[in-house]
Each structure stands twice: as structure tokens, then as C-alpha cells.
């Protein structure tokens, strides 16, 4: 089983390369193949293959919400007014 993992990764890499360079049908079939791969992982490993992507998605969504709503984590940038080049009545030199 351990020796089969690199072969599966090579197949997924080849399918991804083909989908990137191929037509619309290959892109759709790549998504379908990833779905079948996930379903086969659920069939082989059971509940962990189902719950781990859900936990990862929840964590990434929480991180997205924290990044979007935290203004204290950003570096404040001072807004400056553009220099006015019009001639005035007085000279500041």
C-alpha cells in the first residue's frame, strides 16, 4: 500500500497537467475524478476521510473571517494630501 501512494500521486499530477493544458472536457473530468477519489477515500478509510476536509474547510473559513474583520492586524498607512501647485498670493520659501 505504501508503494502505491507515489503512483497515485503521479497519476493525479498527470491528470492535473492534462486538465491545465487540455480542453473544457478534461477540466470537468479532472473535477469528477477528484470527487471519485474522495469518495473512494471515504470508502477505504471511513469517517476520517469525510470529516477531515470539513474540519479543514471550517478552519480556513474562520481564518478568512479573522483576516477580513481584523483591522488591528494591518499596518496603518498615512494618507497625505497631494501638493497643490497653484500660485498663491504668498510665497512659503
- Interval 33-50: pLDDT, tens: 888 888 888 888 888 888
Q: Given pLDDT bands bounded at 50, 70 and 90, which one contains residue 74?
A: low
Contacts of 30 (CB under 8 A, 6+ apart): 15, 16, 18, 19
Arithmetic mean of pLDDT, 11-21: 81
In this prediction, residue 87 carries a pLDDT of: 58
* C-alpha cell of residue 22: 487540455
In this prediction, residue 58 carries a pLDDT of: 96
Residue pair 19/27 in contact (Cβ under 8 Å)? The answer is yes
The percent of residues in the chain predicted with pLDDT above 70, rounded, is 72
Give me the sign of the Cα torsion angle 12, 17, 22, 27.
Answer: positive
Arithmetic mean of pLDDT, 76-91: 62
Amino acid at each position: 500500500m505504501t508503494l502505491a501512494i507515489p503512483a497515485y500521486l503521479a497519476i493525479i499530477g498527470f491528470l492535473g497537467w492534462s486538465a491545465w493544458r487540455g480542453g473544457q472536457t478534461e477540466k470537468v473530468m479532472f473535477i469528477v475524478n477528484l470527487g471519485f477519489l474522495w469518495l473512494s477515500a471515504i470508502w477505504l478509510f471511513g469517517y476520517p476521510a469525510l470529516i477531515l476536509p470539513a474540519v479543514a474547510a471550517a478552519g480556513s473559513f474562520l481564518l478568512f473571517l479573522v483576516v477580513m474583520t481584523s483591522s488591528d492586524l494591518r499596518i496603518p498607512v498615512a494618507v497625505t494630501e497631494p501638493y497643490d501647485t497653484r500660485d498663491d498670493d504668498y510665497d512659503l520659501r
